[in-house]
Structure 1
Amino acid sequence: MKPIDLNPKVRRVSPLFWVFESLEDDPGFMTRKFFMMDAAYLDGLLCLAVSQGEEPWNGLAVCTSQDHHASLLDDVPELVVHPVIGKWLYVSQTHPEFESIALKLARLVGRRDARIGVEPGSRKRSGAASRARKTPRKKP
């Protein structure tokens, strides 16, 4: 039987949150939930996301564009294309070198490596909220 969460408003963070520690003193750094992941933003760009769950949601996602895949894979060959979010790269925490890879990627983010970081999309309204704002046009 699963325990009942008596305080659902308390923000739960991934045990992998340590990946972001080297960025915490940077004035441009912030974290947010991004779906089921904890995400690191630097200067408004979505850079890294950690999650702990079933593969492929069990490690570190590198937020980048496909234009930068080849270069990043040359520098960090342990990365793979994320099987669900194909524009991002990923390393599972089951990888034997996960800690050193994650720290290397966090250092690249801290140095503002232009290959890492994407503009976050604007949040879309839910279907009900969107429909509520639309009013039917009256015919003249």
Structure 2
Amino acid sequence: MAKELLQLGWVEELLPKDHIRKRMFGGFSYYLDEKLILVMFESVGNKDYRGESYDFEIWNGCMFPVEREHHAVVLKKFPFLINHPVLPKWLYLMADHDDFDSNAESLVRELRRKNPLFGSYPKGRAQKSKKSERSFEKIDTRRPRMFGDVPAEEKLKNAQRLTDLKNIGPETERAMLKAGVKTLDQFVKMGWEKAMIRLCKVNPKNNHSLFAYALIGALQNKMWNQISEADKKQAREFMKSLRDKATLRSNKKSKKKG
């Protein structure tokens, strides 16, 4: 049975809220409008399959189902993707890729927009797939319709718990509670930077810029991908500073032991 995602759980939080999750091959598959859009696994160190060995972990990352006729176009736009060695129809983003955070963000953005190049319908859904591609050209999905333009101050005033805010689902709420961010009022008063410091202290895997985007958006009543470029830059620089400090502390400990 698949275990809950730890390192990649934040990616799930960025998917459209109406997605459906199912267990698959020891990982999780994600569907939107009956279309398989994403599969994620966390199997660290697994580089072998049926006698074949690879120089990378083959079951630790994100897989994006893409029909073969669309591979060339998608790979040209996202050259960091590769055909999965076991499931070549799916395009693979390894979790240990240097730019995993930003690359995952760009791919999730395509899923949120319902880009017809991404995803695969189960057998028997081909007709619906074509219909969806035609309708995609007519509908602007760049701005989610489920959220109104409520001022951030009003949203924060009326919200009662963390999950009432945008971008904060059950998994994120659990992570925040574990980090000692227990109430909405506490989160608002401390701000996203202090919240991220606590989150990273409890679990270093929380240190990624998209998590910061999500918290900034929550305080501004915006989706994570709708915050300003200035805020995104600030988040990236802040998260990098936390990583640098963590590396420095680790090096000092190593020298003392030596």
Class of the TM-score when normalised by the shorter of the 2 chains: 0.7 to 0.9
User: Contact 1:20–1:106 at 8 Å: present in 2 too?
Assistant: no
Taking the TM superposition and a 5 Å limit, the aligned residue runs for 1:96-107 are 96-107=98-109
Residue aligning to 1:130: none
User: Contact 2:83–2:91 at 8 Å: present in 1 too?
Assistant: yes
Distance 2:12 2:108 in 1: 7
Shift of 1:39: 1.4
Residue aligning to 2:131: none
Using structure 1 for the length normalisation, give the TM-score.
0.72
Distance 1:76 1:17 in 2: 22
Q: Which has the higher helix share?
A: 2
Amino acid at match of 1:72: V
User: Contact 2:3–2:26 at 8 Å: present in 1 too?
Assistant: no
Amino acid at match of 1:114: P
**Identity across matched positions, percent:** 33
Match of 2:34 among 44, 52, 57: 44
Distance 1:97 1:22 in 2: 17
Aligned length, in residue pairs:
111
Shift of 1:121: 5.2
Question: Is residue 34 from structure 1 mapped to residue 24 from structure 2 by the alignment?
Answer: yes
Give every structure 1 segment of 4 or more consecutive aligned residues whose post-TM-superposition deviation is greater than 3 Å: none
Amino acid at match of 2:59: W
Question: Is residue 63 from structure 1 mapped to residue 65 from structure 2 by the alignment?
Answer: yes
Segments of structure 2 that go 5 or more residues without pairing to the other structure are 47-56, 125-258
Distance 1:87 1:104 in 2: 20
Residue aligning to 1:22: 14
**Structure (1 or 2) with the larger CA radius of gyration:** 2
RMSD, matched Cα: 1.8
Shift of 1:102: 1.2
Alpha-carbon displacement from aligned partner over 1:53-108 (angstroms, at most 9, x marks no partner): 12210111011111111111111110001100011100111110111111211110
Taking the TM superposition and a 5 Å limit, the aligned residue runs for 1:2-17 are 12-15=3-6, 16-17=8-9
Distance 2:100 2:123 in 1: 28
> Relative contact order (C-alpha < 8 Å, sep 6+): which is higher?
1
Which SS does the other structure have where 2:29 is aligned? strand
Bigger shift: residues 54-63 or 112-121: 112-121
User: Contact 1:17–1:38 at 8 Å: present in 2 too?
Assistant: no
Amino acid at match of 2:79: P
Distance 2:91 2:80 in 1: 10
Shift of 1:120: 3.0
Shift of 1:38: 1.2
Taking the TM superposition and a 5 Å limit, the aligned residue runs for 1:102-117 are 102-117=104-119
Amino acid at match of 1:42: L
Segments of structure 1 that go 5 or more residues without pairing to the other structure are 1-7, 123-140
Distance 1:24 1:13 in 2: 19
User: Contact 1:47–1:116 at 8 Å: present in 2 too?
Assistant: yes
Kindly tell me: are residues 39 and 84 of structure 1, through their superposed partners in 2, closer, same or farther at Cα, counting changes over 3 Å?
A: same
